Each structure stands twice: as C-alpha cells, then as structure tokens.
Amino acid sequence: MKPVDWKVLGTDGEARTGILRTRRSEIETPVFMPVGTQATVKGVRFEWLENELDARIILGNTYHLFLRPGPEIIRNLGGLHKFSTWNRSLLTDSGGFQVFSLSDLRKLTEDGVEFKSHLDGSKKFLSPEVSMEIQSALGSDIVMVFDECAPGDADIAQTKTSLELTARWALRSKARFEALQTNGLDSGRVELNSDAIISGRQALFGIVQGAGHKNLRRESLERTIEIGFDGYAIGGLSVGEEKRVMYDVVEYTAPQMPSDAPRYLMGVGTPEDLIEAIYRGVDMFDCVMPTRNGRTGGAFTSNGKLNIRNAKFAEDSAPLDPECPCSVCARYSRAYLRHLYQAGEMLAATLISHHNLAFYLDTMRQVRQSIKLGEFGQFRKKFLSKLQNEDEAADV
RNA sequence: GCAUGGGUGGUCGAGCGGUCAAUGGCAUCGGGCUGUAAACCCGACGGAUUAAUUUCCUACGUAGGUUCAAAUCCUACCCCAUGCA
C-alpha cells in the first residue's frame, strides 16, 4: 500500500486536475503550497491558512529546523505537526536547495555537505542519510530526497557531475528512508483504518535535475524513475536561468514523468509561471514569492503586480485587487496598506502576504475548475492577458 | 541684561580656509525579490542643462568684511539652548 494516493479527475491538453491524498489531508491539484520554512508561513497564522485560505499543504525546511530548534526537540514535542499545530499535510524540503543558496557557506563532498551555520558559524553536516533522519523526526507527510541543485546556467560537464551525485544521493536517500519507515522513527506516523487506501507512512519524492540541458534532464528523469518514488519533482529551475529555458525544460520533462504520480515543480513561481507550468503538465508548486514579496510591499493581483510603496497609492481607496474575494481586499484600501507599510507596521506585511496567498490559492481553484470543464486553454489566455494590464491595474 | 554653547540641504547631524552641492542616519522617491541567511537588498535624493563623471545657477541664520579662494576667519545684527542675575 502506498503512502499517498493520486487520482486524476480531468485533463485538458497536458494540464491535469486530480486529488492527492496524504495521510493528513486531501489535496486538489494543481496545488500551490505556501512556504513555511521555519515551521511558520511567515506573517500568516495557521487559522487563516486553514479557514479562509484553505491551504491543504504547506512546506517546512529540513535545514532551518535542523539548526533551530533542532530535530530532537521537535521529535520530543511529537513532531512538526503537533509542535506547530498545523495538522494538514506538510512537505519538507531536504536542505538540497540550501546546498545551492548557501553555496558560500558550505563544502560539498560525495558523502554530503558541511555547512557553516548562518546563525552562529558552527559546523553542521547534512547528507542523504542525515536529511532523511531529520525529516523523519519532523514527521512530515511528504519527504524530499537530498539533492544537489546546480545553478541555472550550469554547463554540461558541471550539470552532469551534479546530476550523477544527485542520483547517487537519491538512492541513498531512499535506502535510509525505507529503513526509518521500517523502524517506526517517523514522528508523524498515522494509524489509519483498515479500509484506508493509503498506508499512514511518510511519502518520498524524487527530484529530477539537469539544469537547462534536455538530454541531461532525460537522463536524470530515467535514473529517478528507476529508483522509484511516490512522486516526482523538477528541481533546479528558477535558479538564474532564462524564463524561456525554464518553460522549455518543463515542457520537455513534465510529460515524460510518470502520469500516475504527482509532478512537482520546485520553487516556482510567479502566477504566470504557474499557469505556464500547469499547461505543460505540472501538478504541484511552492514558492516564497507571495509571502516574501508580500512582506516587502509587493502585491500580486489579477491585473499584474503592484508595489504598495508607490506614492500613487497614497489616496487610493480601492482594494489591492478589486476582483479578489479575500478578506483583506474586502476590508482594506491600498491607501491604508501603503500607510501601514510606510509606517513600518508589521500588519502591512501580514495583510499583503495574506492577500497574495489568497490570490495564488484562488487562482489554483479557478485553474482546477477550468481543467475539469475542459476550458483551461481559454482560462490561460485570459489570465495571462489580464496580467499584462499592470499599469492600468494601478489606476483602477 | 551678562556668560557660555549653538544656528548646515525635508529632518537630525558631520565638516571648521581650497579636493564641498557638502560624510552619515532618518524621511522621501523608484526598482528588485521564484524548493526563504530576506519585516530584506539595490539605486536616486538642491535646481536646470548635457551624449557625458557636461556646463551653469542657487545654497551652510541675516548683512557686511578679510582672502586668489569662506559653510569654515573677522564685525554687527537676529534667533535658539543652558547657566547667572
């Protein structure tokens, strides 16, 4: 019995809509997963995520929680779900991305990666085995293999070396993962009824690398499938390559990924990126943009982006996005949000983050609906053309 | 009234004869953020003009003066702070 169940409910071209069942929640796809690196989606209470936003799954990060508060503390407190009170699905990234983003602070070897903690400079070691152990202590529902994410513009030789290391690490990740499951060390274990269709164990997703090189993407994909995972991710995109390269790689890779498992494009992206990737066959996304940009004054709207810091909003009584049904848009004006931001009030960050997540999640709902109706093609065109109205959006 | 210290660009505050349109903080304006070292980072910030790190104008309380040259030195005045009457 598998740890997750995946059923396609409808397709439109390469686009798919379906239901992913984890041991903790049902997730309709395509899905956007808010990023909650340090056991919190920055600036947004779980109450909002559960109720109004209705997020079914969020991320956590192995590297950050490893450094603080530490996996043993979280294990002793009953796992990340219990610790944080987030009871829906959790996906934990393996720390692989930090191999890339903290490249100045780490040393990479075949065995693993030695990090110099960005908190206190102390040495920390992460490897496929350690990452799996931490993720089992966290008890997340979906575990990611420990990979190496090469830069977006990596050349062929560099990419090949990186991809092969990732493949060896994937094998090691799976081996340790299986052992941990057998030994019952997963702190998020759920005992399900005997008629359940899933196992109650953690799920493990593999990651396809290969930067912008299609032949290497193919090689990475084949090796990943050969090992066998509960879901498959495309990693190593939106890390500095050109947008066209990203779309090309997704267009090439996604349709070749197993159709009976969810496809996850890691770290992407803008609303436009999501639509384009869904169009090319992707089911799952995560990205810091709605929360990070929200914290720094950037709002995503159905008419494109706007920057709440701009003086032109000082007396604008309109909501961030007149078409948005979220509670922030129902109540607060751009003028007020701008004032909060300018005054350095933390509520600005909270409210804009909330709106941005609402916009992302609502967009996904519309996407799913349009795929079910076989109208995703039209939806995509309309959605993308509206995003171009950025300038007018500001003047609504 | 006397004594002392001080009056600098939106603001606070450095500068104390030339390299000063004047360091820096804040404010303001603009840009960026894609598996979060990020409530962060970058840029602009007297006016006009130029292809330009170009040229010009106006500025360091006010008015004079010294000097080749003054935000910087001198004189008078105005104002502020503190102390003494």
Write the pLDDT tens digit of every residue in A232-254.
Answer: 999 999 999 999 999 999 999 99
Q: Which residues pair with A279 in a beta bridge?
A: none
What per-residue confidence (pLDDT) applies to A189? 95
pLDDT in tens, A139-166: 999 999 999 999 998 999 999 999 999 9
Query: Which A residues 216-245 have CB within 7 Å of strand B?
Result: 233, 235-236, 238-239, 243
Q: Are A254 and A263 in contact (CB under 8 A)?
A: yes
- How far is Cα A363 from Cα A375, in angstroms, rounded to an integer? 14
What per-residue confidence (pLDDT) applies to A390? 63
Q: Are A310 and A394 in contact (CB under 8 A)?
A: yes
What per-residue confidence (pLDDT) applies to A34? 98
> How many C-beta neighbours within 10 Å does residue A312 have?
12
What per-residue confidence (pLDDT) applies to A76? 98
Identify the DSSP state of A146. P
Q: pLDDT band for position A389 (50/70/90)?
A: confident
Quick check: is A286 catalytic? yes
Q: How far is the CA of A93 from the C1' of B7 (A)?
A: 60
What per-residue confidence (pLDDT) applies to A385? 96
Considering all nucleic acid strands, name the nucleotide whose C1' atom is nearest to the C-alpha of residue A246: B34
Q: Are A20 and A262 in contact (CB under 8 A)?
A: yes
Backbone angles phi, psi at A325, to 5 degrees: -85, 5
What per-residue confidence (pLDDT) applies to A77? 97
> How many C-beta neighbours within 10 Å does residue A70 have?
13
Tell me the C-alpha to C-alpha distance, in Å, between residue A282 and each of A106, A232, A256, A356, A396.
31, 10, 11, 21, 33
- How far is Cα A186 from Cα A24, in angstroms, rounded to an integer? 14
What per-residue confidence (pLDDT) applies to A394? 46
Q: Are A97 and A149 in contact (CB under 8 A)?
A: yes
- How far is Cα A276 from Cα A280, in angstroms, rounded to an integer? 6
Q: Are A110 and A118 in contact (CB under 8 A)?
A: no
Residue with tokens 């530490």: A70
Active-site position among A286, A316, A321, A362: A286
Please give the torsion angle defined by the CA atoms of residues A108, A126, A242 and A355, in that order, rounded to the nearest 10 degrees: -160
Average pLDDT over chain A, rounded to whole?
A: 96
pLDDT in tens, A181-240: 999 999 999 999 888 999 999 999 999 999 999 999 999 999 999 999 999 999 999 999
Residues 6+ apart with CB under 8 A from A270: A287, A289, A300
Q: Is the CB of A303 under 7 A from strand B?
A: no
Q: How far is the CA of A311 from the C1' of B57 (A)?
A: 30
Structure tokens at A165: 């290391």
SS (H, E, C) A12-75: ECCEEEEEEECCCCEEEECEEEECCCCCCCCCCCHHHHHCCCCCCEEEEEHHHHHHCCCHHHHH
Q: Which residues pair with A26 in a beta bridge?
A: A21
What per-residue confidence (pLDDT) applies to A391? 54
Query: To 5 degrees, how large is the angle CA A147–CA A259–CA A281?
Result: 80
- How far is Cα A231 from Cα A42, in angstroms, rounded to an integer? 27
Q: Which residue is nearest to nucleotide B33 (CA to C1')?
A: A293
Considering all nucleic acid strands, name the nucleotide whose C1' atom is nearest to the C-alpha of residue A268: B34
What per-residue confidence (pLDDT) applies to A396? 40
Considering all nucleic acid strands, name the nucleotide whose C1' atom is nearest to the C-alpha of residue A243: B34
Q: Is the CB of A103 under 7 A from strand B?
A: no
ipTM of the complex: 0.92
Quick check: is A141 catalytic? no
pLDDT in tens, A102-152: 999 999 999 999 999 999 999 999 999 999 999 999 999 999 999 999 999
pTM: 0.94
Q: Is the CB of A179 under 7 A from strand B?
A: no
Q: Could you tell me which of A48, A15, A2, A12 has the C-alpha nearest to residue A251?
A: A15
Q: Is the CB of A41 under 7 A from strand B?
A: yes
Residue with tokens 């699905």: A89
Q: Which residues pair with A287 in a beta bridge?
A: A34
Q: Could you tell me which of A103, A34, A97, A93 has the C-alpha nearest to residue A65?
A: A93
- How far is Cα A389 from Cα A199, in angstroms, rounded to an integer? 47
Instruction: List bases, strand B, within 7 Å of protein CB.
Output: 27-41
Q: What is the mean pLDDT of residues A344-349?
A: 97
Q: What is the mean pLDDT of residues A56-79?
A: 98
What per-residue confidence (pLDDT) applies to A395? 46
- How far is Cα A297 from Cα A352, in angstroms, rounded to an integer? 7
Query: To 5 degrees, how large is the angle CA A63–CA A65–CA A121?
Result: 60
